[in-house]
Amino acid sequence: YWCAVAYVNTCIHLKCNALPQDITCLAADRMLIFASYDNILHAFARNKEVVHTYGGHKARIHLLQPFGDHVISVDVDNILIVWNIQSEEEYLQVDFDKATFAVSAVLHPSTYLNKILLGSEQGSLQLWNIRSNKLLYSFPGWHLAVTTLEQAPAVDVVAVGLVSGHIIVHNIKFDETLMKFQQDWGPITAISFRTDGHPVMAAGSPVGHIALWDLEEKKLMCQMQDAHSTAIAGMSFVPGEPLLITNGADNAIRVWIFDGPGGTGRILRSRMGHSAPPTKIRYHGQNGEQILSAGQDGTLQSFSTVHEKFNKSLGRGSINKKKSKKKGLKLDTMVLPPITVFASEVAHQSDWDNIVACHQGYITCTTWNYQKTSMGAHKLRPEEFSKHKPIDIYATAVDMTSCGNFAVIGLSTGQVDVYNMQSGIHRGLYGKERAHEGAIRGVAVDGLNQLVITAGSEGLIKFWKFKTKDLVYSTELSSSPSGILLHRDSGILGIAFDDFSINALDIETRKIVRTFSGHHGRINDMVIQKFIIIPLLSVVAKSCLASISVTNLY
């Protein structure tokens, strides 16, 4: 199961052998990983190579069950197909009537040769022999839809999860219910049993809670609330170990260890990403070992290029952090909108906040502390809006000085402000009232804190003295800019336009040195790649904007 869950992340990032559509169903045996999209089923070897393809369904596959030399798939049209794994041929096909038996769960009972147990939305169960294609027995069920089936450590015993939140531990040999439990959080999404000598059953819920049941005492042992921020998609105890692996719709996989009093678990290891598409990614520092990423789920996260154990989440932005902690994630009404753009510097990151971020449609910019992996102490907004927050004015661009002391923030009104990162104090603005007539589309500070470059939607690029805030130079562009990016080492400014073209501007000569065209959609982001040319005379030439990589993050 660990391999199957881990494959989700692997497949997303593969440049070859990746499936053309989103994976909708996943299963694994000791040799292969089976993944389906729409009505096509694939078998992967070594987590990356497609070795088998099974095409025969006419509707989307929603259930998979590896079964020895076969794999069983069920589609939403209620057709069950048994495939021969090696030959990729259909071994058996069974059509079920949706009105009387809509298949909702599949299980191979332990020691039951050639037999599978099927659960239905009508609540009944059926035991089939797939070798002879015969229905062996029908269980009347409990008149509630079956959501999951799980083999218990004892032979002939299975756990049946129902849509009502009930869990039925049932002996299928004698058709006898041994015990019955109920959780209060909705349908049962997953079930697993401990096999390390402790008679414990875990059950998942749609709200992210996990219930642990004592099978000897036949009662609830403890609850692990908010194990995931969304529904529990799957769970599995490691055989013979006090370890539980869970994954959820929040794009997180966690390993829980049960070594404390009361039987509850604690996180041993976890790996998580954004639960919604990312909005902005940037390297943090110059060593290329950390990547900061902001997502539409409102979180800011750091991903390590060295090892996943160094990944960490800086959390979710909140208007009032103390009140948010008391309410919890589910009831928090003070969550800030997603981060649209941010800037970070490693200088002085041990002393004060070193990340500043703009939020969607929000005038206040937040600071973040990379060392403490949390939201920072300051909220940066103009003094005239300290008592009220206008709806139609918001922060659109931000940059930090290389020394980590100041943040420059542009607003939709054309105003550009400077703040001290250590104290959060406002240190002035550029222009008498505002820097541009239109909304600010980008701000940048050079490497020596000499110049501040601003781009306005009216089509102007302006150069300002950082300290005195005097206007040095202004030039009109061919089109309205959608964003700018400064490469401080070379002094090259990349300018993306609303007409989908890109210009490279030298901030020393203040002339356009390159023009790039060819895009047919809005440019969301840019990356400047530095090439240092070393001629035969051993003279290092000035680095230039040799290529621009444009990535649609959505």
Residue with tokens 């980008």: 442
* DSSP class of 335: B
pLDDT tens digits for 435-492?
999 999 999 999 999 999 999 999 999 999 999 999 999 999 988 999 999 999 889 9
529 membership: H or E segment, kind and range = strand 527-531
- Written as tens digits, the pLDDT of the chain (554 aa) is 333 333 333 333 434 467 888 888 999 988 899 999 999 999 998 877 899 999 999 999 999 999 889 999 999 999 999 999 999 999 999 999 999 999 999 999 999 999 999 999 999 999 999 999 999 999 999 999 999 999 999 999 999 999 999 999 999 999 999 999 999 899 999 999 999 989 999 999 999 999 999 999 999 999 999 899 889 999 999 999 999 999 988 888 999 999 888 788 999 988 888 888 888 999 998 888 999 999 988 899 999 999 888 888 888 888 776 666 655 555 556 788 999 999 999 999 999 999 999 999 999 999 999 999 899 989 998 888 877 777 789 999 999 999 999 999 999 999 999 999 999 999 999 998 899 999 999 999 999 999 999 999 999 999 999 999 999 999 999 889 999 999 998 899 999 999 999 999 999 999 999 898 888 888 888 887 754 323 333 333 333 333 333 333 22
Determine the CATH number of domain 278-476: 2.130.10.10
Per-residue pLDDT tens over the stretch 90-108: 999 999 999 999 999 999 9
Instruction: Tell me if 275 sits within 8 A of 296, measured CB to CB.
Output: no
Q: Scanning the structure block, which residue is given the tokens 């049960």? A: 258
User: Which positions ≥6 away from 154 have C-beta within 8 Å?
Assistant: none
d(Cα 96, Cα 100) in Å, to the nearest integer?
A: 8
Distance, CA of 383 to CA of 402 (rounded, Å)? 25
Q: Which two tokens stand for residue 9?
A: 């992340």
DSSP for 77-143, please give it: TSEEEEEETTT--EEEEEE--TTT--EEEEE--TT-TTEEEEEETTS-EEEEETTTTEEEEEE-TTS
pLDDT at 331: 53
Q: How far is CA 546 from CA 42, 314, 490, 504, in A?
A: 41, 34, 11, 10
Structure tokens at 270: 């976890």
pLDDT at 539: 31
What is residue 4's predicted lDDT score, i.e. its pLDDT?
A: 33
Q: d(Cα 179, Cα 117) in Å, to the nearest integer?
A: 19
C-alpha span between 312 and 198 (Å, rounded): 33
Q: In what order do the strands lie in the sheet with 290-295?
A: 278-283, 290-295, 299-304, 312-316
Backbone angles phi, psi at 231, to 5 degrees: -60, 145
Are the folds of 1-95 and 487-554 the same? yes
Number of C-beta neighbours around residue 392 at 10 A? 8
Closest CA to 357 of 371, 372, 373, 378: 378
Q: Which two tokens stand for residue 460?
A: 């102007």
The tokens describing 58, both together, are 């006419």
Query: Can you name the CATH fold of 487-554?
Result: Thrombin, subunit H (2.40.10)
Domain boundaries, the chain: 1-95, 278-476, 487-554
How far is the C-alpha of 103 from the C-alpha of 135, rounded, in Å? 14
Measured CA to CA in angstroms, residue 326 lies from 322, 323, 333 at distances of 7, 5, 11
> Can you read off the two tokens belonging to residue 32?
């292969």
Distance CA 52, CA 34 (A): 9
d(CA 207, CA 223): 13
- 243-248 and 25-28 as β-strands: parallel, antiparallel, unpaired? unpaired
Of 499, 399, 415, the C-alpha closest to 456 is: 415
Q: Which residues contact 306 (CB under 8 A, 6 or more apart)?
A: 289
Largest Cα–Cα separation, the chain: 89
Tell me how far apart the terminal alpha carbons of the chain are, to the nearest angstrom: 29
Report the candidate in 435, 438, 437 with the shortest Cα–Cα distance to residue 453.
Answer: 435
Q: Minimal CA–CA distance to 165: which of 216, 214, 124, 211?
A: 211
263 phi/psi in degrees, rounded to 5: 80, 0
Spelled out in words, what is the top-level CATH class assigned to the domain 1-95? Answer: mainly beta
As a whole number of angstroms, the distance between CA 201 and CA 450 comes to 64
Which helix (H) or strand (E) element contains residue 50? Answer: strand 49-55
